[in-house]
Structure 1
């Protein structure tokens, strides 16, 4: 279901001469819908009639600029920058007016994104959440005002009051059916939470907002009355902020044994324990389907970076979908622990097949390579780099489909700095550029896939086992696969050796290019990569040769001086 809301707005000046309240809401622009919407309400405070100016410029500036901030910014970071800029501008104008007509305003801003909300709050406007008919509205903000009947003149924080403003932030989850209500003190000052909740659920959002304002006027409010009602009709898929929020809020479960239950899943077996992660097979008690549960090992449960990486993997899994990858399920609304739920697929990884001695026919290898390359291309089009393609992460399911496993160290551009700086990958599958200090990119995934295919067909790694401490890693070019295995056609030998060429310029540039070469096969074969010059394979070779020639020359000179007649 896509993100969808019903919005209603109503504002009346009440007994005052001027309405100095202002509110509004804006959806994300086309093409950027996943950023949700932003709504804000402000109650202007003035000594010379400029309260409306302060409220209007603050709300309109925030609504106009929020979606212009980079989408990589976390909502609180974007709100903090924008609110601080507006406060500085308004404070400077008040200072120039020299007290003749100051303009201040309260502000409550609500951002709905994915399945979460973020609130920024200054002053005594309020945000409420209404979830069930008959229950009081839940306040999501706390007033910054003295306990005094005339709170408008007793604000302790306001936009434009000082050069620096302290903003309260809050975040939480959003469900379908949630109703968020933003009000000025002219409404909540005379309506009790129970009454506010009942009115907020009346009819449509527009009807509810009018009912709130009219009820406040009937109750004898002495101020402007404004209400903005936002009802959540449909939610977008979970966003990274949702997953990171769960990563901070939820703790990984303790060690589970067969028969233990977790949020409706009954554990049927422990599949893997890496010391960092635990992978369980479990059964959904409601649907009886098998699933895989991935969580952190208890020894890593308190590591915030590991939690963030697991949350990032859950988000990526939902983003790339199921085409060539294992589908990720959303956790229950009231999840009690931090974990990822995957589809369960029986079968074996390529590593398990290799260890069992299964070599695979050439036609099967080509068919598998086409499937995996398609999946890898799809991942790259999403802007994601896997960073750990190897036989252990390629899985052939019982349904006959190949899938890429484990997005735990993948890069998406939204990962944390710790994950970005992590030197991930298995040494023998890492491309030469990374050993020389380059960042992992799509080219490194294609090289790792080439190494995997070479190993599958030839029985060993193209450059041998490579260790992290090894200095000279690529001293020789890979041997021709057709010599190691006579049934490998020349076109496939050339293709795989091109994929693992020592020189990056000799390799495939994109997954699509490699896929096209695999699909064309012998009809349009690629050329074998040129032999790498000795000086490039071993930069010290020239010095070694010079040293050997020098030693030989000196040995001959000694023999001539000592033993031959002159």
Structure 2
């Protein structure tokens, strides 16, 4: 889903000799979509003719440099840094040249499901929504009628500038107007609303021209400029947008077959884990089946659980946006329009998880296991390239659809760097599938990494092939389980080739240095198979598997030696 807008811009110098207004809007490139759209309007002020340059350089600098800020920066922070730097540069240039070139600035960013305004001076921003015309900015000028043209704040006026910021929810159909005082000084809000109706009807350019012409006909003696932006469709939600919905919207009550939730009608109750409820539902608009995931009503007031479900939704939307959705190895997340409650919507896929298939005693050929492992490893590679760690790869989270595609389920405990500290510190995962380093008491338990997902996939492949876990059932902090090397899968299933033994044993090696470093390396080893087999990890030395063993051996030797010495002293003749 991408942000779609209709933009119109018009400016005339009016009765002035020159035009010192400047405005522009910049759409993001595909790789910059997360930054959203940025637009700005400025009205230059000068005593030496530098107002036009001040307005133009300020708008161009803010718009171009905005896309160079880190995508993790909050929008107002990015704008504050850019406007502050431009103000300092312009103020210093004024001191050097002995001039007074200044400018007003009203900048607008449309990002995700929200808008952010930055404002200095007496240019204005207006929002037309549902027939209302609301002024979003306040003029920074003297209130006395004879001094209204005198600004109290402007870019370049002082070494430091104070910027007003406003943020709000963005909706489809919103129309934003950015105007200079040559327009709004001659027209009132009522006239602006009437003239902007062209934008509401889809003609942003016609609306901007009508506004400027009407202002000049109403007697405006100043430069007149108007920038009109109509929101046709919203971009995918950002994490901040989803978190707001997670905090503000209610958790749905328990649903039953036939109940309706917004545009969805429940067709089956799939699962109740005590933490979440899963439903199959039909989209009444498209008639497609979907999966709805809600928090259990007992967790409705749990802020962290709300945040984790919001993070899962955002991750799913982000993966769909960056990997193309279909064929990515994950279940697509759908974004409901104007939801009345907090829930997640996923594509519905018939089929079963690997855990369910194994529980039903379904047998998979070696070739089927290898191809499934390749599909899952590729999906993990896509996940890791986005800086995300799943943290709970296991048979219950691998799904084979009726279409024959393997998909990774449940990003509920995944970490992306955008989650809260509480979510990040959560020791997530299923013990039997977690790499030994996460239980290392000397390290206090290390954080999960992409390597943790690959170890879990290795454990899953071992169980997939043999029906057993390589280290048996592991309980938290049960380090003794890792003090023996797992048996080669071929010892438990004779049709497993030796090359696959080596791949699986390397994936679950006790020593992290012997494992695969990336998902791509794992995929390559499975794809090459017997044509270019890899070497097995070899037996782990006893003292590596059990570092305390050397002390145990020394203790045993000491006891034996002391026993012999005592026997010699007591029973042997001197």
What TM-score bracket applies, with the shorter chain setting the length? 0.7 to 0.9
Contact 2:154 2:161 (8 Å CA) reproduced: no
Q: Kindly tell me: are residues 414 and 125 of structure 1, through their superposed partners in 2, closer, same or farther at Cα, counting changes over 3 Å?
A: same
Superimposed CA distance per residue, residues 430-482 of structure 1 (whole angstroms, 9 cap, x where no aligned partner): 22333445443322211110011112223332122333333445211111222
Q: Kindly tell me: are residues 93 and 363 of structure 1, through their superposed partners in 2, closer, same or farther at Cα, counting changes over 3 Å?
A: closer
In the other structure, the counterpart of 2:120 is 122
Aligned to 1:259, what secondary structure does the other structure show? coil
Q: Kindly tell me: are residues 16 and 118 of structure 1, through their superposed partners in 2, closer, same or farther at Cα, counting changes over 3 Å?
A: same
- 1: CA distance, partners of 2:85 / 2:302: 35
Please, which moves more after superposition, 530-539 or 405-414?
405-414
Contact 2:102 2:154 (8 Å CA) reproduced: yes
Q: For 1:372, which of 364, 376, 385 is the aligned residue?
A: 376
- 1: CA distance, partners of 2:81 / 2:269: 47
- 1: CA distance, partners of 2:247 / 2:186: 37
Residue 485 (structure 1) shift: 2.7
Q: For 1:510, which of 509, 518, 523 is the aligned residue?
A: 518
Q: Kindly tell me: are residues 253 and 107 of structure 1, through their superposed partners in 2, closer, same or farther at Cα, counting changes over 3 Å?
A: farther
Aligned to 2:31, what secondary structure does the other structure show? coil
Superimposed CA distance per residue, residues 102-155 of structure 1 (whole angstroms, 9 cap, x where no aligned partner): 5654322111234543222334322233456xx343434444567655673576
- 2: CA distance, partners of 1:251 / 1:80: 34
Q: For 1:186, which of 179, 182, 188 is the aligned residue?
A: 182
Q: Answer yes or no: is 1:42 the counterpart of 2:42.
A: yes
Residue 340 (structure 1) shift: 1.3
Q: For 2:401, which of 386, 397, 400 is the aligned residue?
A: 397
In the other structure, the counterpart of 1:272 is 271
Q: Answer yes or no: is 1:441 the counterpart of 2:449.
A: yes
How does the TM-score come out when normalised to structure 2? 0.87
Residue 547 (structure 1) shift: 0.9
Contact 2:439 2:479 (8 Å CA) reproduced: no
Q: For 1:557, which of 541, 546, 565 is the aligned residue?
A: 565
Contact 1:266 1:282 (8 Å CA) reproduced: yes
- 2: CA distance, partners of 1:374 / 1:303: 34
Q: How many residues align?
A: 560
CA RMSD across the alignment: 3.2
Q: Kindly tell me: are residues 125 and 302 of structure 1, through their superposed partners in 2, closer, same or farther at Cα, counting changes over 3 Å?
A: farther
Q: Answer yes or no: is 1:538 the counterpart of 2:535.
A: no
In the other structure, the counterpart of 2:81 is 81
In the other structure, the counterpart of 1:171 is 168
In the other structure, the counterpart of 1:475 is 483
- 1: CA distance, partners of 2:121 / 2:15: 22
- 1: CA distance, partners of 2:474 / 2:374: 27
Q: Kindly tell me: are residues 90 and 247 of structure 1, through their superposed partners in 2, closer, same or farther at Cα, counting changes over 3 Å?
A: farther
- 2: CA distance, partners of 1:460 / 1:151: 84
In the other structure, the counterpart of 2:27 is 27
Contact 2:255 2:266 (8 Å CA) reproduced: yes
- 2: CA distance, partners of 1:105 / 1:29: 28
Q: Pairwise mapping of residues 465-504 of structure 1 onto structure 2 (< 5 A)?
A: 465-504=473-512
- 1: CA distance, partners of 2:424 / 2:387: 14
Contact 2:80 2:163 (8 Å CA) reproduced: no
Aligned to 1:278, what secondary structure does the other structure show? strand
Contact 2:104 2:123 (8 Å CA) reproduced: yes
Superimposed CA distance per residue, residues 205-231 of structure 1 (whole angstroms, 9 cap, x where no aligned partner): 334322211111111224432211223
Q: For 2:108, which of 85, 107, 110 is the aligned residue?
A: 110
